[in-house]
Structure 1
Amino acid sequence: MDDQVHWVRITAEHTTGTMALDGRDISSQVSGYDLRQRAGQPAELVLFLSPVVKDEFDGLARVAVGVSPDPGPAAAAFLSAIDAGELERNALARYDLLNGGPHEMTRAMLALLQDWASGRWQPEVSG
């Protein structure tokens, strides 16, 4: 098999970006990618195709199948870094999460953890 490399251009800004392969914009066809490189080797790019892709390809290609990573280890690392007191204080301070219903504190803490994990809410810094 030919070891031909392809020209790739990736621009990323926050949660958006563009990707071109051999000068062709493929941004709308890609839902994610992994890019890695070892010293002295060409970069290796694994593309995760969008589920709405309905494109055709005809030709030879070196194919790498991307498998989504197991979220368990990342979730465990994230949760192990959480200070229980800080979580409780922040949950109680979020009136938008408290509704007086059953299990409201647990629901508020889970919602707060989701916000923290996604970067939508920053924990208060206690002095």
Structure 2
Amino acid sequence: MDQTNGTDTTRRVAITAQGGRADIEVDGARIDPSTVKAYSVSHVAGEHPEVLLHVADRGETHWAGMARVAVADLPDPGPAAAVFLDAIDPEALERAALARPDLGTEPYSLTKAMLTQLGEWARGL
């Protein structure tokens, strides 16, 4: 609902997703897939559902219509990374890296294995 003039700005959105591809329609008009790099859908009980389209940087594409716009800075990953790294047991990391089947024999292979292991742990793998 548009709070400024009381008119309803609800739109019909249809998303058909399969694998890594999604077709998006707004009020029956198909959105060019190259103009959207991501989307998210959320719904809080008692409120209208929201669809957030992350627009790709396309110089020739023009969007029209009303939107709620929020501008946010990406959080600095440094503090979270520091907390994660502080919690790592060096002995467990070395054991895990040395036991990796992809551990190579070339220079810096142990460092590469440790970084790969840390990445997997960070992603919960």
2:55 partner amino acid: L
Change (3 A) 1:36 1:87: same
- Does the alignment pair 1:8 with 2:13? yes
Picking from 36, 42, 66, the partner of 2:42 is 36
Q: CA RMSD in A?
A: 3.6
CA contact (8 A) 1:10 1:19 kept: yes
Corresponding position of 1:113: 118
The worse-fitting range, judged by mean Cα deviation, of 40-49 and 78-87 is 78-87
Partner Cα separation in structure 1 for residue 68 and residue 99 of structure 2: 50
Partner Cα separation in structure 2 for residue 8 and residue 83 of structure 1: 48
Q: Which runs of 5+ in 1 are unaligned?
A: 123-127
Change (3 A) 1:16 1:113: farther
Corresponding position of 1:17: 22
Q: TM-score, normalised by structure 1?
A: 0.60
Partner Cα separation in structure 2 for residue 14 and residue 79 of structure 1: 34
Corresponding position of 2:62: 56
**CA offsets, 1:65-111, max 9 Å, x none?**
46474263775786678665554333223353434414x32322112
Partner Cα separation in structure 2 for residue 109 and residue 40 of structure 1: 48
Identity %: 35
Q: Secondary structure at the match of 2:38?
A: strand
Which structure's CA Rg is the greater one? 2
2:37 partner amino acid: S
Corresponding position of 2:51: 45
Partner Cα separation in structure 2 for residue 77 and residue 45 of structure 1: 33
